[in-house]
Amino acid sequence: MNFSFEGKVAVVTGGANGQGRAEATLFAQHGAAVAICDVAHEEGEALATELRSRGLQARYFPLDVGVAADWDRVITAVSDWQSRIDILVNNAGILKRKTIADYLEAEWRHVIDINLTGSFLGIQKVAPFMREQRSGSIVNIGSNAAFSGHPDPAYTASKWAVRGLTKSAALELSTFGVRVNCVCPGLVVTDINRNAAHLCTMIGMTPMGRAAEVEDIAAMVAFLSSDGARMITGEEVVIDGGFTAGAAYWKVAMEAGYYGARNVGASA
């Protein structure tokens, strides 16, 4: 990948683990100063230390994305450190794997607070810097769950809403040269789902035959944050190996033997 983020400053929420860790690492490897923001303090500090030991620029900032005062503190600290912010990745996210029947109101609000309000606050707090600079890229991490129903209703609702937030923010910030896009991963095996019961079934329904790697997601986040994407805003990119393209039809076609040699289970 041929990105250069020399002289740029990137803020990555949920940057201590999983996809955020890969995104923070990729930005740092390509020259950015990276603010790793998370509630996982040990992992965040360890990643920042590791990146610095490789000669890269990184610092850890404790941040609960659902808390506006945390954002104020972190944005002030980042601008004291680097005096600009070019890239924001609203990556922090949670789910509870509960049904409508089981969700407590406080749990529902917690998911919405982190996944949706956290992204809104990030945009609201960082946008003034980008407006002033007349440039910037914001990438919100949605999900392919934002294109259908998903068994967790709060997660589904929050991720559909992140798509809408992306489009509104893209319109409002476009005249300032600030772009806002949404990356929607499918299955990526990380701490959020490592021991979940559905992994094998989901991989079995993915046309590309595997889960995405964290690097697959980070590469798209970096592209959207790069000059190569300078005309792309308000857009959403699904990275799920064809699952959203039609997993059910694909499975039916496979089992019916329509796709030739790869057709397993097509004996009848």
Ligand X SMILES: NC(=O)c1ccc[n+]([C@@H]2O[C@H](COP(=O)([O-])OP(=O)(O)OC[C@H]3O[C@@H](n4cnc5c(N)ncnc54)[C@H](O)[C@@H]3O)[C@@H](O)[C@H]2O)c1
Give the interface with ligand X as residue ranges (CB under 6 A): 13-14, 16-20, 38-40, 63-66, 91-94, 114, 141, 143, 185, 187-188, 190-193
In the block, residue with structure tokens 């808390």: 67
CB of 193 to ligand X, least distance (A): 5
Nearer to ligand X (CB atom), residue 4 or residue 76: 76
Least distance CB 110 / ligand X (angstroms) = 9
Contact 28, 56 (CB under 8 A): yes
How many beta carbons lie within 10 A of that of residue 108, not counting itself? 17
Question: Which one, 116 or 127, has the nearer CB to ligand X?
Answer: 116
- First vs last Cα of the chain: how many Å apart? 45
Q: What minimum distance in Å lies between the beta carbon of 222 and ligand X?
A: 15
Give yes or no for a contact between 184 and 239, defined as CB atoms under 8 angstroms apart.
Answer: yes
Contact 154, 96 (CB under 8 A): yes
Indicate the residue among 3 and 147 with the shorter CB distance to ligand X: 147
Reference 88, options 52, 51, 118; nearest CA is 118
Q: Is the separation of the CB atoms in 186 and 243 below 8 Å?
A: yes
Only one residue has tokens 């040990």, namely 42
60, 103, 155, 258: which is the annotated catalytic residue?
155
Which residue's CB is nearer to ligand X, number 244 or number 263? 244
Contacts of 226 by beta carbon, 8 Å cutoff, 6+ apart: 3, 4, 5, 137
| CB-nearer residue toward ligand X: 50 or 255 | 50
Q: How far is the CB of 78 from ligand X (least distance, A)?
A: 15
Between residues 132 and 191, which has the closer beta carbon with respect to ligand X? 191
Vertex 130, ends 127 and 133: CA angle to 5°?
Answer: 150
Known catalytic residue at 103: no
Q: Which two tokens stand for residue 196?
A: 């979940």
Of 188, 166, 181, 183, the residue nearest 237 (C-alpha): 183
Helices and strands per DSSP (H, E), number in the chain = 9, 7
Nearest-approach distance from CB 259 to ligand X, in angstroms: 26
Q: What angle do CA 249, 250, 255 make, to 5 degrees?
A: 100
Residues assigned a catalytic role? 155
